Structure 1
Amino acid sequence: MSEAKLLLTASLLYTSSTVRVLLFPKDPISSASYILDFAHNIHSTLGRLRQLQNDLYHRIDQTRPVPSLEDSKFHYGFNSSYLQKVVSYWRNDFDWRRQVDKLNQYPHFKTKIEGIDVHYIHVKPKNLPEGACSIPLLMVHGWPGSFYEFYGILPLLTETGRTGDITFEVICPSIPGYGFSEAPHKKGFDSVCTARVFLKLMKRLGFSQFYVQGGDWGWIITTNMAQLERKIVKGLHVNFAPPEKTSLTMILSMLLGHYFPRLFGFTHHDINKIYPLMQNLVVNRLKETGYLHIQATKPDTAGRGLNDSPVGLMAYILEKFSTWTDLEFTNLEDGGLQMKFSLDDLLTNVMIYWTTNSIIPSMRFYKENIGKGLQPHNKIPVLVPTGLAIFPNELVHTPELWAKQKYHKLVSYTLMPRGGHFAAMEEPELMAQDIRKFVKIVQGKN
């Protein structure tokens, strides 16, 4: 079922966006069945644009630089000297209007599910050969990313290529509380709630079966979707899958795997990532999870400062894009940010958080999930076909043996040649290739 404009078109102007109300032909006429054609259209609201820019520039101009320690690079966080260069680019050269045009190259929609306005982009392949069909794929982002992470991979998945190649119809929603999706108003909205909402979204779009893909929070949300509806979710592809609970098999493999790697199927990469145990599984994780403890306990406190300061917000978010892409980037004065990403793309992601006031609700997602401790779904296995893409610079490494403790039908496990946490944005071609490989395996089995 498509989102064709059928019965009702209305033009509204609010929060710098153009909205058209769409109605599915087979949906009952109720507020719950409306799909809003949502375009973040600043060209029709230039007054709003000037107001936003003036406020942003005023706040940037009031920032109070603090010099970094000598030779500290990115070891203390975002280096202050490089920060000022990024701030200068943001203030003087970054073209938000041009980036909004880029955002609008794909169709945006909103629909109300469980009382929450859920934003998503829906990209359909063009020029499909007669008789061919596309495969629906839901892709879910994480923190501190957004739906924009997938803009590089979307054309690789949706453009028709060689004869017999798989073409996808891709839906990328914003997690409630992130970007253009409305934030939950009550406590308790966790990954399972998000999975339930996204399942309802796909049902509303008319899909009886589909594939899902995710990293970071997208990993657990799509995993929950597969746990909730294993007959609807045809396959699950993830690029991040840290063990949620420790099994006896995992403990034995950690204790003995260094001495008997073949017994546990450990590769050289597994050995290098796991051992020495104390350094790799304890010390390194403690170094890189300080943010997690704050966000899982008192997110509103730190979040309020980030919500008021664009420079603080930018530093907080982009430091993660540096460190989580490659830990070695902490040894560089510029954090290696522009080795993998453009400033325009990085700042566009920051602007999505800034213009929607979504940093606090996005941080609350940690408290709703981690603050509860071990959840029932952590103990439930995944029984749908699963593919795992292992990018070598990911912070948390999961050997195949460990992944199989959770994902009982692991049909694809790929060690990638390069890449880190934001894989779809950093290495879109590698990610697209692995998704296709996984889906071909599942389709062949079916």
Structure 2
Amino acid sequence: MQRLHVLKQAFFSLDAAHQQLLIGSGVAAGGILAYLLLKRREVKSIPLGEGWWGAGEKPLSEEDKIYPFEVQTSDEEIEDLHERIDRTRYTDPLEDGCFQYGFNSTYLKKVVSYWRHEFDWKKQVAVINKYPHFKTRIEGLDVHFIHVRPPHREGQRVLPLMLVHGWPGSFYEFYKILPLLTETQGGLAFEVICPSIPGYGFSEAPHKQGFDSLAAARVFLTLMERLGFSQFYLQGGDWGSLITTNMAQMKPQCVKGLHLNMFMSRKGFKVMLSLLIGPYLPFLVGFTREDVHRLFPFLEKNVYEILRETGYFHIQATKPDTAGCGMNDSPVGLAAYILEKFSTWTDLKNKDLVDGGLERKFSLDDLLTNVMIYWTTGSIVSSMRFYKENVKTNIDKRVDSGTGIFVPTGLAAFPSELMHCPRSWAEIRYRNIYSYSFMPQGGHFAAFEEPQLLANDFLQFVKKVEKL
């Protein structure tokens, strides 16, 4: 109060001209601050762009028909697989190497033996086909998706939802969460569209260079429009997180809500400052106790582990065609390359186990079904190219990196994700966070590992958005 009294006296001791100048400066400063706050909250979007990824020249018109699709197999396909498996050459593992050097070959032989003698691909094809599959042509590519409608219930509210996978996953990752989303819960159910990223699984691979997450986002927006949805929800992790984020940036008016189980922020002063202060005064930089536990010591828990786990990224972002050549020819090489990620990305501690902890979270039938989607479609190389297309140029200078996301956003932070992103970091990029959840368990493949946890978090987020 004393300080306020002194300020008042000082102000009234000025002549009228200086008083007016001071008032004018204050109004101007307030106006600038208000303008900056409004600009921060102003909903921005990024251009849709255009593209043609089919073979040859772009035609004058493109068919927009949606037609049913069914996954098929044959005795010849299975016989070829078995012959290749039988010719596999293995390397003996190092003593006590566990998964520290990659997929342990002793355990690999057990997985391959199951694959060769017990795994029933025809049975798994029937499992895959239990949901309706479709294809449609967009920007020169046959885009595959499953479209699952909930059973009709009186009084239920049905909301459209697109789920987008990443690498080395597929649409099959969502088979455990689909029944949880399509069954009515609290009066809500979801009509789910789950596409394959072009170049993955049953979606045609781009024939031209440059197909990145922005192109995939535009293709999937076209798909939703073609299906008749003007507003919808999005959910994704891994590449699916970036693609759905780009969709929300391109057409925020169409995205009712964006839910992610992997998310990152932009680099900058706030992030650097919080890394310096966070371990000691976490409350000053918006960190919770759980953030501190997951982030620090930062070098050991994040930087070093990321360096150990991203060798694949550097290969795929530079020479995918070279590295992919062997995996496209050897089913066992492909399985080792893909399944190693389902070990370490589920829990980094799995590197210390002889079996990589694979069967703690997954069944061999589910894991090998995902591998078979890559094998039978010959899509490993084209899936790896997606990395090169996205980092050909500095990703921090792309139009989407400098644009905030303003749609209602829900973030599920799983404890064994490759890198933790605190809410205070996420808010730099995601400007309208409705929910941020510290998930009790689970890693990178959330829908595959913890379908019930992910479904519950997503449902709670939607209820907040819908104000239920």
Q: TM-score, normalised by structure 2?
A: 0.85
Q: For 1:223-250, what per-residue CA distance to the aligned partner results, in whole angstroms no more than 9, with x for missing partners?
A: 000000000011100000022x312111
| Aligned partner of 2:167 among 133, 143, 167 | 143
Please point out which of 179, 187, 209 is paired with 2:201.
179
| Cα displacement string for residues 343-378 of structure 1 (whole angstroms, at most 9, x for unaligned residues) | 000000000000000000000000000232222211
In structure 2, C-alpha distance between the alignment counterparts of 1:370 and 1:41, rounded to whole Å: 35
Does 2:309 match 1:285?
no
> Which residue of the other structure, out of 206, 221, 233, is the alignment partner of 2:243?
221
- Whole-Å separation in 2 of the counterparts to 1:64 and 1:104: 34
Which of 1 and 2 has greater Rg?
A: 2
Q: Distance in 2 between matches of 1:268 and 1:90?
A: 44
Q: Is the 8 A contact 2:156 2:184 kept in 1?
A: no
Deviation at 1:251, TM superposition (A): 1.1
* 2:273 is the counterpart of 1:252: yes
User: Counterpart of 1:333 in structure 2: which amino acid?
Assistant: V
Does structure 1 residue 40 correspond to structure 2 residue 71? Answer: yes
Is this contact kept in 1: 2:156–2:188, CA < 8 A?
no
Q: Give me the identity figure in percent.
A: 61
Structure 1: any 5+ residue segments left out of the alignment? 1-29, 43-48
Deviation at 1:31, TM superposition (A): 5.2
**Is the contact between residue 91 and residue 105 of structure 2 (CA under 8 Å) also seen in structure 1?**
yes
1:67 paired residue among 73, 82, 92: 92
Of 400, 406, 415, the residue aligned with 1:383 is 406
Partner of 2:152: 127
How many Å separate the matches in 1 of 2:302 and 2:406?
A: 28
Q: Tell me how far 1:54 sits from its aligned partner.
A: 1.2
Where has structure 1 moved over 3 Å in runs of 4 or more?
none
Among residues 175, 193, 199, which one is paired with 2:215 in the alignment? 193
Match of 1:346 in 2: 367
* Residue in 2 that maps onto 1:310: 331
Report the Cα offset of residue 76 of structure 1. 0.3
- Give the corresponding residue for 1:356: 377
Residue 393 of structure 1 corresponds to 416
Deviation of 1:273 (Å)? 2.3
Matched, 1:237 2:237: no
Count of residue pairs the alignment pairs up: 406
Query: What is the CA–CA distance in structure 2 between the aligned matches of 1:422 and 1:282, rounded to whole Å?
Result: 21
| Equivalence for 1:412 | 435
Q: Within the alignment, does 1:266 sit opposite 2:290 as a pair?
A: no
Give the Å deviation of 1:268: 2.5
Task: Please state how far the C-alpha of 1:255 moved relative to its aligned partner.
Answer: 0.8
Are 1:210 and 2:232 matched, yes or no?
yes
Shift of 1:436: 0.4
2:131 to 106, 111, 115: 106
Tell me which residue corresponds to 1:170: 192
Q: Which runs of 5+ in 2 are unaligned?
A: 1-60
Q: Which has the higher contact order (CA 8 A, sep 6+)?
A: 2
Q: Distance in 2 between matches of 1:142 and 1:310?
A: 20
- Note the C-alpha offset of 1:265: 2.4
TM (norm. structure 1) is 0.89
Alpha-carbon distance between aligned partners in 2 of 1:81 and 1:251, rounded to the nearest angstrom: 43
The one-letter code of the counterpart of 2:245 is: T
For 1:368, the equivalent position in structure 2 comes to 389
Deviation, structure 1 residue 127: 2.4
For 1:296 and 1:422, the matched residues in 2 are separated by: 21
Q: What is the rounded CA distance, in whole Å, between the counterparts of 1:39 and 1:231 in structure 2?
A: 34
Superposed displacement of residue 117, structure 1: 0.3
* Structure 2 counterpart SS, 1:76: coil
Does the Cα contact within 8 Å between 1:211 and 1:234 map onto a contact in 2? Answer: yes
* Cα deviation code 1:266-294 (max 9, x no counterpart): 12321122222222332111000000000
The answer to whether the aligner puts 1:88 opposite 2:113 as a matched pair is yes
What SS does structure 2 have at the residue aligned with 1:128? coil
CA distance in 2 between partners of 1:67 and 1:379 (Å): 49
- Cα distance in 1 for residues equivalent to 2:142 and 2:219: 10
Q: Quick check: 2:156–2:187 contact (8 Å CA) kept in 1?
A: no
Q: What letter matches 1:315 in structure 2?
A: A
**Aligned partners of 1:323 and 1:330 also within 8 Å:** yes
Q: Which residue of 1 aligns with 2:101?
A: 76
Task: Indicate if the aligned counterparts of 2:316 and 2:385 stay in contact, CA closer than 8 A.
Answer: yes
Q: Secondary structure at the match of 2:191?
A: strand
2:159–2:190: 8 Å Cα contact kept in structure 1? yes
More moved, 373-382 vs 112-121:
373-382
Q: Which residue of 2 aligns with 1:330?
A: 351
Give the equivalent residue in structure 2 for 1:421. 444
1:179-198 deviation digits (Å, cap 9, x = unpaired): 00000000000000000000
CA contact (8 A) 1:127 1:160 kept: no
Amino acid at match of 1:137: L
Give the equivalent residue in structure 2 for 1:46. Answer: none
SS class of match (1:167):
strand
278 and 160 in structure 1: CA distance in 2 versus 1, 3 angstrom threshold: closer
Tell me which amino acid in the other structure corresponds to 2:108: L
Corresponding letter in the other structure for 1:40: V
Does the aligned pair in 2 maintain the 1:179–1:353 contact within 8 Å?
A: yes
Whole-Å separation in 2 of the counterparts to 1:274 and 1:431? 22
- Distance in structure 1 (CA, Å) of the matches to 2:92 and 2:467: 58
* Residue pair 1:400, 1:413 contacting (<8 A) in 2 also: yes
**In the alignment, residue 320 of structure 1 is paired with which amino acid?**
K
Aligned to 1:17: none
